[in-house]
Structure 1
Amino acid sequence: MTTIDDLSLGVADVPAARAFYGRVLDVLGKRCLAEGDGFAAFGRDRVAFLLLTPFNGGLASAGNGAHVAFAAPDREAVAKAHAAGLDAGASDEGAPGERAAYPMPGVLAAYLRDPWGNKIELVHGGFSA
């Protein structure tokens, strides 16, 4: 089994991205644990998700087909985090609902596209359940 220590997304405007993700992740019980010049780090009791300006100085870009999935503590949190994201400037990429194509029954998920083009998933009952 592979353990992932943390995930990061490249963004051009870390303060704006910190504000956006702060609203979404707060609903999921995660907060900004550290921030500085060119980064913001989120988690519960340890850093698990980072927003960074690209180290090579190049443009930040969203990966086509890539997304970050955030585990929600319950089904209600999926809907609340999705709404918080829309309110904070995301676009809807899939309203909260069960996903018949998922390998586990009863999974509730929602998708957003953040203001920088990154796709994020909010999920309960999936691999992290």
Structure 2
Amino acid sequence: MHLLDHVSISVPDIEVARPFYDAVMDALGARKVYDRPAAVGYGERCSADDTASTFLAVYQGSGEVGDSKRHWCFKAPSRAQVDAFFQAGLSAGGRSDGEPGLRPHYHRDYYAAFLIDPAGNRVEAVCHAAPPAGEAA
């Protein structure tokens, strides 16, 4: 079961957020589905023919993010995509909140990286799969 249909992230300045989310979503293989003056969207919207997709909207909001510890986690099909997410986010103005690596306290193959976006939202990419046979953990 896919629990989430869509998620919206509010940022105080869409022009600062846009390059960050373009970079990290591209690293995860999520296509941009719209780009408007005050919002940008990624992923796939559900339809009657596709009920399992998930969609992300990043929009300009009026309030500050503050230290609310908002947390958004994105699935990555591979550990290499988690690494790419992290590097892309750093290159696009994000700050590290946890380098790519295993988090065995969640489960033995939980491989994740954490970033703080330019607005202060905490974002994560995770791969739950074990590494392919012959590849180091």
TM-score normalised per structure 2: 0.79
Structure showing greater radius of gyration is 2
1:51 aligns with 2:58: yes
RMSD over aligned CA atoms reads 1.9
Q: Distance in 2 between matches of 1:120 and 1:62?
A: 15
Partner of 1:80: 84
Q: Structure 2 counterpart of 1:99, which letter? A: R
**Residues 1-129 of structure 1 correspond to what in structure 2 (within 5 A)?**
3-43=3-43, 45-46=44-45, 48-54=55-61, 58-62=62-66, 64-102=68-106, 104-125=107-128
Structure 1, unaligned stretches of length 5 or more? none
Q: Structure 2 counterpart of 1:78, which letter? A: V
**Per-residue deviation at 1:12?**
1.7
Q: Structure 2 counterpart of 1:22, which letter? A: D
Identical aligned pairs, as a percentage? 34
Runs of 4+ off more than 2 Å: 62-66
Q: Structure 2 counterpart of 1:124, which letter? A: C
Q: Is the contact between residue 109 and residue 123 of structure 1 (CA under 8 Å) also seen in structure 2?
A: yes
Q: Is the contact between residue 69 and residue 121 of structure 2 (CA under 8 Å) also seen in structure 1?
A: no
1:59-91 alpha-carbon deviations (Å, 9 max, x no partner): 241562321101111011101110110111111
Partner of 2:132: none
Q: Is the contact between residue 71 and residue 124 of structure 2 (CA under 8 Å) also seen in structure 1?
A: yes
